[in-house]
Structure 1
């Protein structure tokens, strides 16, 4: 009988980022900036999304960013709720939400997402980042793999997991296996993460959702997405839109940016294949929980 993998006190049920090579028509998946698992607590009572740093990443930086994430606000973020004890193996846990990483969702869908889904992502992620910036923080790790698609809306994770401290203490793009296409040019040049850098990364992530890659040709995007993505990907941060402008353009009549019911995240916001895959994940995890329970 196979030995159950354990990380900290948790028993791993499955990896969150799974290979979908069987979907030969799907886009190539950009890497995740951390190792992510669905896991169970020792008493079999709780299911969590558990993250650990990549093998060559700085565990101290990883844990510092995870600690900061505990204080993040907003409905579309997944802050850490439990951290590894100091001096031990680095990991952090968040409440489990049945969801697919954005690259996996494209693979399951067999290609890019519909415009409605991408626009819903734009509004929800812009709202999440606006709240974060209001807390005087920058995410610094927005990329396709950082976005999880759940039935009721997206979740944004991987807060700062892409950062690694340089010799002068300035956070730099240094951890292994990361999606450098989402990195703002000013941060690639060694600058500190800034809110307008998150806007650039948001544009690259939306481009990926709509086309399967982060630097699409103009003809690959609809008119509304072409304008939005192009402005977000401006090399000069001063030419990028404010998050409030993005929300105002796409949800002008909404006080909360993403209302329930007939809003962007209403029924049908996700393609049927992705909805089915999320439901299958939830059922599979439930079945595995029975086996792992004491």
Structure 2
């Protein structure tokens, strides 16, 4: 990784995926030991007007399942998701794209920060992800793949991605242990044993992701966790799903009475999410903000070879 943890966009043509020219790999600085469930790139359209986050399946993954999941993600709601906005045409190379947001994968964020994140950052991350998963569950969907690599951190808040790699449509009884790119440390025991993805499995994965953000690994000892998470994360990681907290309980525990007023589009104000009040200035360490800004500037300045 470049000095100071900065990620540098390449300024030469790496290749083309669909109609896009690749600028750089999003995960080039993710530690090799960290599973990444899809291949992710920052790319630009042939006319130079659009920059996107572009994903393709891992070589050993099922391209059709990848596209099925990416297609389902188009209907996801909420500010902290990165649903597919454009899908590859049937019969060709599998890929999906969504508008570029300057952001770093959570494993890269820890590397740039030189270790675990502050409690304030993890608390904001927890509430935003819990709200996102709650909305998803309300749409009768499960992610089935939250983990450190699925979370991107942007200046204004986190984004949960890797839809199209989650394989939430796996039939009941299909083994999930050993699925390409899936983080075993974030996989609920009942799903690792072959059970169907379900909402409380997402709660387990959320707990593992928060543990990673707070300690650097997904299965921490209780005393490693900061105060607010010391009780919550072990409950999320309970082997018995019935002992895991509901997402609403997580939100209430970490952000009681913290809703904010937001414009309602009709000249008045409505009630915003609990996460909004936690994602103000200073929610990210300064070196992370600088690294995200550097990525954005590098991508903006990148020159790509466009077709003649």
- Regarding TM over 0.5, the answer is yes
Match of 1:118 in 2: 122
| Contact in 2 for aligned 1:13/1:37 (Cα 8 Å) | yes
Stretches of structure 1 lacking an aligned partner (at least 5 in a row): 22-27
Flag the 1:41–1:169 CA change in 2: closer, same or farther, 3 A.
farther
Deviation at 1:53? 0.4
Match of 1:247 in 2: 251
| Contact in 1 for aligned 2:235/2:243 (Cα 8 Å) | yes
CA distance in structure 1 between the aligned counterparts of 2:65 and 2:286, rounded to whole angstroms: 38
1:283 and 2:297 are equivalent in the alignment: yes
Match of 2:280 in 1: 266
Stretches of structure 2 lacking an aligned partner (at least 5 in a row): 1-10, 260-271
CA distance in structure 1 between the aligned counterparts of 2:13 and 2:148, rounded to whole angstroms: 32
| Contact in 2 for aligned 1:164/1:172 (Cα 8 Å) | no
SS at match of 1:163: coil
| Contact in 1 for aligned 2:143/2:168 (Cα 8 Å) | no
Flag the 1:188–1:62 CA change in 2: closer, same or farther, 3 A.
same
1:187 and 2:191 are equivalent in the alignment: yes
1:11 and 2:17 are equivalent in the alignment: no
Match of 2:266 in 1: none
Please, which moves more after superposition, 3-12 or 66-75?
Answer: 3-12
Flag the 1:60–1:169 CA change in 2: closer, same or farther, 3 A.
farther
Match of 1:51 in 2: 55
Q: CA RMSD in A?
A: 2.1
Please, which moves more after superposition, 170-179 or 116-125?
Answer: 170-179
Measured against aligned partners, the alpha-carbon deviations of 1:241-270 in whole angstroms (never above 9, x if no partner) come to 00011111111113433354xx21010000
CA distance in structure 2 between the aligned counterparts of 1:161 and 1:20, rounded to whole angstroms: 17
| Contact in 1 for aligned 2:84/2:98 (Cα 8 Å) | yes
Deviation at 1:2? 5.9
CA distance in structure 2 between the aligned counterparts of 1:13 and 1:4, rounded to whole angstroms: 7
SS at match of 2:159: strand
Match of 1:129 in 2: 133
For these two proteins, the number of residue pairs brought into alignment is 285
| Contact in 1 for aligned 2:119/2:214 (Cα 8 Å) | yes
CA distance in structure 2 between the aligned counterparts of 1:9 and 1:171, rounded to whole angstroms: 35
Q: 1:197 aligns with which of 197, 201, 215?
A: 201
1:257 and 2:305 are equivalent in the alignment: no
Flag the 1:2–1:42 CA change in 2: closer, same or farther, 3 A.
closer
Flag the 1:208–1:8 CA change in 2: closer, same or farther, 3 A.
same
Match of 2:269 in 1: none
TM-score, normalised by the number of residues in structure 1 = 0.91
CA distance in structure 2 between the aligned counterparts of 1:45 and 1:169, rounded to whole angstroms: 45
